[in-house]
């Protein structure tokens, strides 16, 4: 296992130790990798789309931060077809943004923006999804992004955030880690690939506890925050302005 030049982490993806990235050729197999690596990944998409129905108004605007290949923003566009809604999906990786544009080409209401969301000035919007993205940002960047979204969010609007979460209890954290490893092994990854992915994420992925995620959303200004989906160490939160 060569940690400097890169090790296999599954689905044809190779990543060096501590240098996981969503750039390069990762977009080619990203959806397969996400489906096999994150429990209830597609079910979460469906729940986000369902939740959006309570907040997206005719003529409104929807954001997705960290859209990767555009799977979720397409699901949102399909859910609100005919409502004259604009969908703005942001990703910092050029190859991901290019792939998202290709896959969303049939949806004129979707605009893919290649940009750093932490430096973006948002227009007024009704609903936003941040699906397993904040965990890859530094704490100060996360808070700046959440504050920027809250400021632009229209009253009565909402943001849905999905994150990998860690436990404040060492015992529960160990339990969660073992269950998650078994999940990945059951999906066909080898022990070396599971270990390789874990090593590639060192210093790159920094999960918060459930309580810390809620506190971050409240610090940004959200008065109403609730957990809407959880599987061991993966959780979705709904925050309403």
Same domain, 233 and 137: yes
Q: Evaluate if residue 2 carries a pLDDT over 50.
A: no
**Tell me, what's the pLDDT at 11?**
61
Residues 153-165: b if buried by 16+ CB within 10 A, e if exposed: beeebbbbbbbbb
**Tell me, what's the pLDDT at 154?**
98
Same domain, 11 and 118: no
Number of domains, the chain: 2
Beta-carbon contacts of 126 under 8 Å, excluding residues fewer than 6 positions away, are 55, 56, 57, 60, 61, 62, 153, 154, 157, 158
**Tell me, what's the pLDDT at 20?**
60
Structural domain harbouring 80:
41-166+207-240
**Tell me, what's the pLDDT at 153?**
98
Angle at 185 between CA 180 and CA 191, to 5 degrees: 105
**Tell me, what's the pLDDT at 195?**
87
Do 183 and 153 meet the contact criterion of CB atoms below 8 Å apart? no
Same domain, 126 and 193: no
Of the two residues 63 and 195, the one the predictor is more confident about is: 63
Residue 27 lies in a domain: yes
Residue 149 lies in a domain: yes
Q: Evaluate if residue 238 carries a pLDDT over 90.
A: yes
Beta-carbon contacts of 142 under 8 Å, excluding residues fewer than 6 positions away, are 134, 216
Show contacts of 225-228: CB within 8 Å, 24+ apart: 228/47, 228/51, 228/160
Same domain, 100 and 136: yes
Residue 228 lies in a domain: yes
Average pLDDT value over all residues in the chain: 92
Same domain, 122 and 228: yes
Residue 1 lies in a domain: no
User: How many Å separate Cα 145 from the centre of its chain?
Assistant: 13
Residue 134 lies in a domain: yes
Residue 107 lies in a domain: yes
Enter the tokens of residue 73: 């923003």
Q: Evaluate if residue 81 carries a pLDDT over 80.
A: yes
For residues 145-162, average pLDDT: 98
**Tell me, what's the pLDDT at 198?**
84
Residue 2 lies in a domain: no
Same domain, 14 and 104: no
**Tell me, what's the pLDDT at 152?**
98
Tell me the C-alpha distance between 152 and 165, whole Å. Answer: 26
Same domain, 22 and 99: no
Of the two residues 23 and 187, the one the predictor is more confident about is: 187
For the entire predicted model, the pTM comes to 0.93
CATH code assigned at 56: 3.40.50.150
Q: How confident is the model at residue 23 (pLDDT cuts 50, 70, 90)?
A: low
Q: How confident is the model at residue 3 (pLDDT cuts 50, 70, 90)?
A: very low
């Amino acid at each position: 296992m060569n940690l400097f030049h890169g090790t296999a982490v599954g689905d044809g993806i190779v990543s060096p130790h501590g240098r996981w990235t969503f750039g390069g050729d990762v977009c080619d197999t990203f959806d397969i990798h996400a489906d096999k690596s994150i429990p209830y990944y597609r079910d979460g998409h469906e729940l986000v789309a369902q939740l959006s129905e309570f907040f997206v108004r005719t003529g409104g605007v929807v954001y997705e931060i960290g859209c990767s290949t555009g799977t979720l923003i397409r699901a949102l566009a399909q859910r609100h077809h005919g409502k004259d809604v604009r969908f703005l999906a942001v990703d910092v990786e050029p190859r991901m943004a290019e792939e998202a544009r290709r896959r969303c080409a049939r949806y004129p209401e979707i605009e893919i923006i290649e940009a750093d969301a932490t430096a973006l000035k948002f227009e007024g919007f009704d609903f936003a999804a941040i699906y397993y993205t904040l965990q890859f940002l530094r704490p100060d960047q996360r808070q700046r992004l959440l504050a920027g979204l809250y400021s632009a969010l229209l009253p009565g609007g909402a943001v849905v955030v999905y994150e990998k979460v860690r436990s404040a209890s060492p015992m529960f954290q160990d339990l969660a880690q073992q269950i998650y490893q078994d999940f990945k092994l059951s999906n066909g990854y080898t022990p070396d690939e599971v270990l390789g992915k874990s090593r590639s994420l060192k210093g790159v992925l920094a999960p918060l506890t459930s309580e810390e995620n809620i506190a971050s959303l409240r610090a940004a200004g959200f008065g109403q925050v609730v957990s809407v989906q959880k599987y061991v160490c993966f959780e979705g939160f709904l925050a309403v302005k």
